[in-house]
Chain A
Amino acid sequence: MKTVGVISFQGDFDKHIERSRALGLHAVPVRDAEAAAQVDAIIIPGGESTTIGKLLERFDMIDLIRRRIGDGLPVLATCAGAILLADEISGSDQPRIGGLHISVRRNAYGRQIESFEADVIVGDSDWPGWQESNVLGVFIRAPIIDSVSDEVKVILEFEGKPVLVRQGAILAATFHPELTADTRVHEYFFHAVAGFPAQ
């Protein structure tokens, strides 16, 4: 059975662990480099990107994760996770993993009172799952992806901005698929991106 590690310092890591287990995977919390070295895929949850980045740095995990992602380790990142993978974060020099060729703006929709739910639109993807019904995006103090490089595919979008992007084995969302009952983003990650067999 494949093991997915969820970075579990801060944020909604429990929701990703629950969702991964519900989809039949062996999901474990990851809080040190030893655990990060052993997993078959990694999830970076939503939360506070500056806090998660600092803790990854303090506990000597950031280089290892960067190297493993560079070697092709499948990674799903939501909201804060997407920020941590971005090559460019507007106006911020916070600790990050990087490697995903996008430029993001933090809290780009505004403060918490501007957080919202909305249906998102399928972009450049022919994965049949997306056609079943609309995907509801939950956006909480969400970032906006302002630009992507050529090797980044925009899977889902909202108001002309990418909200789910893929670059090789990296899948990053600006919204929170782990907060709705819809399991398709995780299924897409495990099966279409990571290539894990269906359970």
Chain B
Amino acid sequence: MSDTLWSERQKSTWRTKVGLAEMLKGGVIMDVTTAEQAKIAADAGAQAVMALERVPADIRAQGGVARMSDPEMIQQIQESVSIPVMAKCRIGHFVEAQILEALGVDFIDESEVLTPADQSYHVDKHGFNVPFVCGCRDLGEALRRIGEGAAMIRTKGEAGTGDIVEAVRHIRTVTDEMRRLQGLKPEQLMGAAKDLGAPYDLVVEVARTGKLPVPNFSAGGVATPADAALMMQLGAEAVFVGSGIFKSDDPAPRARAIVDAVANYENPAKLAEISRGLGQPMSGIAVGAMPENEKIAVRGW
């Protein structure tokens, strides 16, 4: 036996939190609302599922306040699959986060898809044992969330639309801003930190390494295998798919095709094979025709 007690062991460190995010690279995390959907996702090869009551497209359509899901529903999904289960809390709603941690979810998404609970502050994520993922539209937002303790970043895209345009914009913005930092001289980095609204130490780290200190995934608008491969080729390290699967005509083959596309994102011949005969994707909403006040990516401070 070990010479230390269980309770004396160093647990849930930054390394184990970011480590789980590392294990989730190269795969697909799917939104599911029932145990049956969770099983379809796991059978398709999803590496994790996001348990929530309504997919973003339905949150959009139905309106009202979107909150953390019912713990009973989250537990049913936890019991139905062996892969990691994630769940969403509202921005700044640290008590929802405490409840999700008590349920033993594997990752918490402090998500703009739900109605924000705090107009100024996000959750202090360092205080939790469970790792967090947060959305971003640009590098400053990503580094603020990492500074608060997020162990994974996802670009936001525009959830529930099936339109990839915002996801592309956000990942290109983050990548361009990182590249720009790499070209700056040391004396310029404090000014850059001020302009980005980002912690100085993290700005210095990105300027040196050219990448975020935690894995960078993509979300918001993925509806086809080609969309998923596009985000991977643009530098995303894994893909979240929300409404794109279970709002399509035939979810199981589409789920599997998106998994296969992420695993083979640089191989056009395989992508062509994978994309065949999947039926209609979700019909979607073009973001360009959407009123500003209906966009949810702007939530986050």
Contacts and interface: CB of A to CB of B under 8 A. Distances in A.
Nearest to B86: A112
Interface string B3-37: 01000011111011001101111110000000000
Contacts of B23: 11-12, 46-48, 79-80, 140-141
Interface of A: 8-15, 31, 46-48, 50-51, 54-55, 58-59, 79-80, 92, 106-107, 110-118, 121, 138-141, 158-160, 176, 179-180
Contacts of A92: 82
A144 B210 CA distance: 37
Contacts, number: 129
B1 to A, nearest CB: 5
Contacts of A138: 15-16, 19
Contact of A48 (B10, B48, B104, B105): B48
Nearest to B260: A58
Contacts of A80: 23
B101 interface: yes
Contact of B20 (A31, A54, A112): A112
B187 to A, nearest CB: 30
Contacts of A118: 2, 4, 9-10
Contacts of B22: 11-12, 15, 46, 179
B75 to A, nearest CB: 12
B16 to A, nearest CB: 4
A99 B224 CA distance: 37
B20 A9 contact: no
Interface in B38-62: 42, 45-48
Contact of B106 (A10, A111, A117, A160): A111
A48 B27 contact: yes
B9 A51 contact: no
B10 A116 contact: yes
A140 B106 CA distance: 11
A136 B81 CA distance: 30
12 contacts: A11-B25, A13-B26, A31-B263, A47-B24, A50-B82, A51-B45, A51-B47, A58-B45, A112-B104, A112-B130, A115-B16, A180-B15
B65 to A, nearest CB: 28
Contact of A9 (B9, B26, B48, B107): B26
Interface residues of B, number: 40
A117 B259 contact: no
Interface string B262-282: 111001000000000000000
A140 B83 contact: no
B26 A115 contact: no
B129 interface: yes
B101 A8 contact: no
B126 to A, nearest CB: 15
B276 to A, nearest CB: 15
Nearest to A14: B25
B131 interface: yes
B235 interface: no
Nearest to B2: A159
Contacts of A116: 9-13, 16
Contacts of B27: 9-11, 47-48, 51
